[in-house]
Amino acid sequence: MKTGPKTRKMWERARQTMPLGVNSNFRYWGDDMTFVIKRGEGAYVWDMDANRYIDYRLAWGPVILGHAYPSVVERVSDVLKDGNVFAMSNEIEIRVAEKICAMTGMDMVRLTNTGTEATMHAIRFARAYTGRDKILKFEGHYHGFQDYTLFNCQPPIPGIGYRRSPVIVPHGSGTPRIISQLVECVPFNDFELLEKVVKDNWQHLACIILEPIMGNSPGLFPKPGYLELIRKLCDEHGIVMIMDEVKTGFRVANGGAQELFGVKGDLATYAKALGNGFPIAAIAGCRKIMGEIDYQKIPHGGTYSGNLVSVAAAEAVLDELEAGILKKVHAHGKKLMAGIREIISRKGIPALVQGSPGMFGIVFTELPKVFEYREWSSSNHGLYSEVLLRMMEKGVMPDMDSREPWFISASHSDADAGVALQAFEDALTEVMDKPKR
C-alpha cells in the first residue's frame, strides 16, 4: 500500500523539519505509507487525498466518543473565549476532579496532561510515600516515554533472556544505564515468579506498576486471581500498587479495569479516553498517599494541569459516560469480536480474539490462550500486518501493528461493523490464497 500523492507530498514536507516527518516515532510507517490526516469526524478520518477510513485506531485509544464529537466540541467551544490557563484553579477543574473520584472510587486526584506524566508522577508519589527507590514492572507493559519504566516494554525485546531471570533491556539509547538498577521485571500472569521477586526485593520496592489489561500487547487479560495476588503482596509488604489505566480507564468500564476485576490500586493513572483526544491525564489514589502531596514533602505541579479546554472536554466525556455511553461502545466491540471469531473459525485459521469489547486484539497463534508478552511474541505478527494492510486498502483502519488493540468509539455504527468484517474476511482470504514462495 502507498499513500496518495497529496499525502506523500505533505509528508515529504514534514520530514524536512520533523525527524521521520512525524511527532511520535510510532506514527512513521515507512516512506511510502506515513499518513498525514486532514480531518476526523465521528468514526472516520480522511487523509490529504480525501481517502476515508473507518478509524479503529482512534489515536491509540483516546477518542472514545468519536472525532469532533458534538457535546465535546460544544463544551470546548464554550470555554475558548474565557482563556485557558491561569496558574490558579477553575470551577470546571474542580467538578472534573469530583466526577473522576466518584466514577473511579478513588479519594483524591491530581490532573496532568499526558499518560507519561501521570505514570512518572505516580511513581514519584510511591517512592516518596514508601521511602524506597525500586519499581517492579511486567514484560510488555508500557507506561509512556519516561525513563523509569522504559525497559522491557515495546516488542521486539532482543536480549531479554530467560523468563525466570529477565534481563532489563532499555527501549533504546538515552536512558541512563544506572536506572535499570532500580527496575525489577517479571512476565505477567506468572504467580510463582512474582512472589519470588517480591520476597527477594520487597524492602527496596516502592511500587508495582501494571497495565491491568495489557493494552500494548493487544488486550491480554490477567489470569483469575493474579491482580488479587499483586494486591495481597503490596498489602503485606507496604508496596504501592499502581494501576496504569491510561488505556483501560473510562473505556473497559466507567471505573476502568479496577471496576471490571474488582481489585483496586493504591494509585491509578488515567489519560486517553478521559479527554476524547484533548490532552488530559489524572493520577488518582487513596487519601493516605495523595493527602501527603505538599510543598517540601511530595512534589507535583504543571503549568497546563487542569487547563480549561482539557477539563471542559473531560467533563463532556464524563457526562456521556455517566449517561451510559459505554453500552454502545461495547455492543459494537462485541459484534466485531463475534464476527471475527466466526470468520477465523469458518476458515480454520488458528487465532484468538482477546480483550474487552472496548479494546480487543487478534492473535494468530495455535495457543489456546495468550497471557503474557513472551507467548504473544511467538504469534504470527507478519500475517497480522499483511491482513491489516489489506484492510486499510479497503478503507478500514485498525492499527497494523499487532500490539495495538482495535479501539471502539460510540460513533461506530452497525454499518461500519459490517464493512469492517467484510474487509477483514476479504483481506484474510487474499493473504491465505496468495501463492507461497
Among 3, 90, 116, 354, binds ligand PLP (CB under 6 A): 116
| Given the residues 47, 190, 244, 266, the one annotated as active site | 244
Edge-first strand order for the sheet with 134-138 is 108-112, 281-285, 267-270, 240-244, 205-210, 134-138, 183-186
Please tell me what DSSP assigns to residue 156.
P
Dmax (CA) for the chain in angstroms is 67
Instruction: In angstroms, give the least distance from the CB of 390 to ligand PLP.
Output: 25
Tell me: does residue 97 bind ligand PLP (CB under 6 A): no
Which of residues 27 and 341 has its CB atom nearest to ligand PLP in the complex?
Answer: 27
Angle 183-187-193 from CA coordinates, rounded to 5°: 85
Which of the ranges 64-72, 112-120, 199-207, 359-367 carries the binding residues for ligand PLP, by CB under 6 A?
112-120
Tell me: does residue 119 bind ligand PLP (CB under 6 A): yes
Q: Which SS3 state, helix, strand or coil, does residue 49 take?
A: coil
> What count of other Cβ atoms lies within 10 Å of the Cβ of residue 84?
13
Asked if 99 and 280 touch (Cβ cutoff 8 Å), the reply is no
Please give the residue whose beta carbon sits closest to ligand PLP in the complex: 115
Tell me: does residue 211 bind ligand PLP (CB under 6 A): yes
Among 115, 140, 155, 255, binds ligand PLP (CB under 6 A): 115
| Given the residues 69, 142, 148, 270, the one annotated as active site | 142
Helical ranges in 1-130 per DSSP H: 5-17, 70-80, 91-104, 115-130
Tell me: does residue 216 bind ligand PLP (CB under 6 A): yes
Site size toward ligand PLP (CB under 6 A) is 15
> What count of other Cβ atoms lies within 10 Å of the Cβ of residue 21?
18
Tell me: does residue 271 bind ligand PLP (CB under 6 A): yes
Per the annotation, the verdict on 199 as an active-site residue is no
User: Which amino acid, 132?
Assistant: R
Among 8, 99, 143, 374, binds ligand PLP (CB under 6 A): 143
Among 44, 56, 142, 250, binds ligand PLP (CB under 6 A): 142
Asked if 275 and 313 touch (Cβ cutoff 8 Å), the reply is yes
Per the annotation, the verdict on 244 as an active-site residue is yes
Which of the ranges 98-106, 241-249, 289-297, 396-404 carries the binding residues for ligand PLP, by CB under 6 A?
241-249
Query: For the chain, how big is the Rg over CA atoms in Å?
Result: 21
Per the annotation, the verdict on 223 as an active-site residue is no
Question: Up-side HSE of residue 304: CA atoms within 13 Å toward CB?
Answer: 10
Instruction: In angstroms, give the least distance from the CB of 244 to ligand PLP.
Output: 5
Among 140, 212, 215, 361, binds ligand PLP (CB under 6 A): 215
Contacting residues toward ligand PLP, per CB under 6 A: 60, 114-116, 119, 142-144, 211, 215-216, 244, 246-247, 271
Active site residues: 142, 244, 272
